[in-house]
Every structure is written in C-alpha cells, then in structure tokens.
Chain A
C-alpha cells in the first residue's frame, strides 16, 4: 500500500495521529485536509466529550452548531464500523449537513454505523484521546493546538 495520508492533531494533551480513508469518504477526507491546511482547526476545543462514547471537536464557536465557510458536505455513509479510534463526521439530523465538526470514538458505537460518515482512524495517541477533558461542554476544554496534514 502506498503511503497512508494522515492528519496529526497536536492537542493540549499530546499528539494524535489519524490515518485518512479517502477510499471510504473522498470528499470528507478532502474537507479535513483543506481545513487543516488552512489552520481552521488550530485552537478549536473538544466541546463535547462523553466518557465511553466519543470526543467531538471541529467547531470554532465551541457550541456544536458552528462550521466552516465551506458548504455542507453530502453524506458519504459507509460500512466502516464505529469502534475505538474511529473518526467520523458530526452532522445535524439532516444527513447532508456535515461540515467541519468530527468526533473520535472511545469505544464501540455501532449504532452510528451507516448514519455518520467514517473518514479515518486513530493510529497513534489513542491513550492521549482517552485523557481529553470530559463534559458537555467540559469545564476546561482541551484543544487542538495544531492540525497538520502529512504522510506516515
């Protein structure tokens, strides 16, 4: 296999490496790369973090309703399971409303399968993800200090 494309999240807790899956969700992966390249995710909090479920981020407003200036994405739902380390895109109850917000699963969340677009998987630093401050929103949210696109 050719070099796997990755996004590296330098967080306030440490380094998290996510392998991208353009084979599953090409447009979502493109969006993540575009926004990371623009520095959009830099300084953005993990605003909704639920123990045993997932850590959500990607909204500069920290409210859960924000997004980027780019248009919402059409869903690319796929069969990849939501398990520990899965990176998937947040949306409203309208399927084609993913934009910039995403979440990282702490554990099995198979009820999300084919309902949310999976676009990557944590390949390094899942122990870091585990330590992200919990809450809805957390009292003292951890942040993405810098998101960088790379190859591993």
Chain B
C-alpha cells in the first residue's frame, strides 16, 4: 500500500528502504478492481543511485496495455525516488547487489 509520505530519515536497513521506495509508487488508474502487484529488480550504488535500468520481473492483476502502463509507472517511480536516501552502512552492504522490490496495491471493494 502506498504510504502517505516518504520517511524523512535515511534508510539504515532494507526493511526501511523498501517502504521509502514504495512511497513514490502509485499504480495507474483503472488497473484492475482487485488491485495490482509488480516486482522490479535493480541494483543500487553505494550512494543510492540506480545501476543501469530496473527490470520488471513480475506483474499481476493487469494484462496487455494495463501491464505496460503499470511497468512504465513503476520504472518512473524508481527513477523519481533515486538516488535513494540510505546510510553509508547500508550503501556498503547493498552496493551492486540485486534488489527485488515487490509493490502491492490491494483495493477494497464490493
């Protein structure tokens, strides 16, 4: 679920980094009644900037043009939210390693 606001502090753990990145993400409108899910894989440098382009490795709840729009929105969110604010310790720990970020939006409905 997207957070209302980005956390103010630099992330010191992956558990803190994930919601900070998720806060940038908003799935496109009309993207499935039950909600959508997307997983992006990418790597960060020590300073939190992206290495190469993230790849969308999984989507659910969308198909066809909806899937393409969800992928574009997700990649745009990652560009907008990087360099990620991370502590030097976390930067050293994760630099160059693959990160899989799973983003889920579950809508409530009848």
Chain A positions near chain B (C-beta within 8 angstroms): 48, 54, 56, 59, 61, 63-67, 82, 88, 90-94, 97-99, 101, 103, 109, 112, 115-116, 136-137
Q: Which 5 A-B pairs have the closest CB atoms?
A: A90-B108, A64-B107, A92-B106, A101-B108, A65-B105
Interchain pairs with CB closer than 8 A, number: 51
Interface residues in B89-110 by Cβ distance below 8 A to A read: 105-110
- With A65-B1, A65-B2, A92-B35 known as contacts, the answer to whether A109 contacts B110 (CB < 8 A) is yes
Please classify the interface of chain A as helix (H, G, I), strand (E, B), loop, or mixed, using the class held by over half of its residues: loop
Contact B107 A63 (CB under 8 A): yes
Nearest A residue to B109 by beta-carbon distance?
A90
Please classify the interface of chain B as helix (H, G, I), strand (E, B), loop, or mixed, using the class held by over half of its residues: loop
Nearest A residue to B30 by beta-carbon distance?
A136
Contact A61 B108 (CB under 8 A): no
Chain B positions near chain A (C-beta within 8 angstroms): 1-2, 4, 26, 29-30, 34-35, 105-110
- With A65-B35, A92-B34, A93-B34 known as contacts, the answer to whether A56 contacts B109 (CB < 8 A) is yes
**Using Cβ atoms and an 8 Å threshold, which residues of chain A touch B107?**
63-65, 92
